[in-house]
Amino acid sequence: MVRLVDIGSACRRRGYGQPERERSHAETRTSRVVAEQDVGEVAGGLHEDVVQPLRQVEVVRLVARLDVQGQRSRAGVGDAQPPPAATRQCEEHEAKGDPRRRILVPESAHGTNPATAAACGYEVEAISADADGRVDLDHFRAQLGPDVAGTMITNPNTCGLFERDIVAIAEAIHEVGGYFYCDGANFNAIVGRVRPGDLGIDCMHINLHKTFSTPHGGGGPGSGPVTLSAALAPFAPLPYVVHGKDGFGLVEHQGDARGHGQPLGRLKGFHGQMGMFIRALAYMMSHGADGLRQASGDAVLNANYLMASLGDLLTPAFPGPCMHEVLFDDRFLKDTGVSTLDFAKAMIDEGYHPMTMYFPLVVHGALLMEPTESESRESLDQFIAVVRGLAERAKAGDAAAFQAAPMLTPRRRLDETAAARRPVLRWRPEEPREQAAE
């Protein structure tokens, strides 16, 4: 049995959804007002309340079950459940009396990966990238040993590239008794085309806000269900749903888990972001398997279109083709007096939110562009024209304009270093000024 856990994921990018998904959520919220119906009453909220009646809890769990069944089939794992807000990948080592302390993480990983491992008490060891921007397999194998608990790898990786040695990596980590956690932040590039479970992955979180269209950041709460392999599923946190001859059952307490593993206990009082589950479910059902496959293909196509259209003027960090995002470095800005930050600020004056900057760290002055599947050919051409125009201006010596940007915003360029070191987290009214003498 494989269970699925909602961790309330956070990611630097968001996906953009369809009107059907938004309407479905609005309708469930409206139903709370017009009728005391179980489904509408429960589904309309972002959280299921810990004190709700069991009859409503069962409705919530069934909705979540339908949602993650679809995600399970995309990931290539067995049964799936979406309980609380966090999990630990390598709990099984503790249960076996085999405490391991090291986690291997690529240098190009999201910062949340090594941070999570360190917060759980593991020692994090960085794995270098090869010349093509992928995990250096030889370095990875050289770091393996009996004290390695697992590895945390994003695939496709943060350079926008598919890890060609992913199966060999999985086999190598399993040979020493470790587990393979895959950061699913970029699952939208391969959904419907590659099943991570078939690659030997033991644990993967799925960003609903990017792969399955739910809002994120300022637009809504994050929701990152986590799929677990048969080896790790018995240690999933409570609560979770089981299915037997009598239908669905809810396991709320460790004593009720007879025959269903050794859950590590309850981590929070709620059962996940129900509003996000409903949006993701609506998105999957409206698109179907063929539509999800097309969405991932369109995301990859759009990114490669940017790479082909900008590659002669900007400098791609690695040879193509890429996956869902294209990565440029700052070599095209050499000797112009314009930095990656200046270039990004100038994009604001052109009406565009800047691309991801200075990440991943393995590329100097990185500019990471991810157009997503929802952009049309016309919108991409407009974006390309703007970026090319800015690059030509930078090369022509217009450094002063870039360094002054943005010029057309309500507030000019802020001191980002000071803001990070001395954040102002609460608004306070200004001190009254003395009236000028007449």
* Most confidently predicted of 191-205, 236-250, 274-288, 355-369: 355-369
Lowest mean pLDDT among 150-159, 218-227, 312-321: 218-227
Omega before 319 within 30 of 0, i.e. cis: no
Residue type, 364: H
Contact 204, 184 (CB under 8 A): yes
Whether residue 42 has pLDDT greater than 50:
no
Q: Which residue has the higher pLDDT, 92 or 325?
A: 325
Please, which residues have CB within 8 angstroms of residue 292's CB and are 6 or more apart in sequence?
A: 74, 191, 192, 284
* Most confidently predicted of 47-51, 168-172, 196-200, 218-222: 168-172
Whether residue 19 has pLDDT greater than 60:
no
Whether residue 410 has pLDDT greater than 60:
yes
Query: Bridge partners of 205?
Result: 183, 226
Whether residue 50 has pLDDT greater than 80:
no
What pLDDT score was predicted for residue 4? 43
Nearest to 79 by CA among 90, 65, 93: 65
Map out the domains of the chain as residue ranges. 4-285, 296-412
Whether residue 11 has pLDDT greater than 50:
no
pLDDT (mean) for 109-113: 88
In the chain, pLDDT over 90 holds for what percent of residues?
A: 46
Strands 148-154 vs 102-106: parallel, antiparallel or unpaired: parallel
Q: How confident is the model at residue 127 (pLDDT cuts 50, 70, 90)?
A: very high
Strands 367-369 vs 179-184: parallel, antiparallel or unpaired: unpaired
pLDDT single digits (tens) 66-92: 555 555 555 555 444 454 343 344 445
Report CA-CA distances (Å) from 79 to 44, 343, 393. Answer: 26, 47, 55
Domain 296-412, classified CATH 3.40.50.720, yes or no: no
The domain 4-285 is classified under which CATH number: 3.40.50.11900, 3.50.50.60, 3.40.605.10, 3.40.640.10?
3.40.640.10
Nearest to 183 by CA among 125, 112, 133, 273: 112
pLDDT single digits (tens) 210-254: 888 888 765 566 677 778 888 888 887 777 777 777 777 777 777
Residue type, 37: Q
Omega before 321 within 30 of 0, i.e. cis: yes
pLDDT single digits (tens) 378-402: 999 999 999 999 999 999 999 999 9
What pLDDT score was predicted for residue 197? 86
Question: pTM here?
Answer: 0.79
What pLDDT score was predicted for residue 277? 80
pLDDT single digits (tens) 173-200: 999 999 999 998 899 999 999 888 899 9
Q: How confident is the model at residue 280 (pLDDT cuts 50, 70, 90)?
A: confident
Lowest mean pLDDT among 105-114, 240-249, 284-293, 331-340: 240-249
Cα–Cα distance between 249 and 235 in angstroms, integer?
18
What's the distance, CA 86 to chain centroid? 15
Cα–Cα distance between 71 and 205 in angstroms, integer?
10
φ, ψ dihedrals at 345, nearest 5°: -65, -35
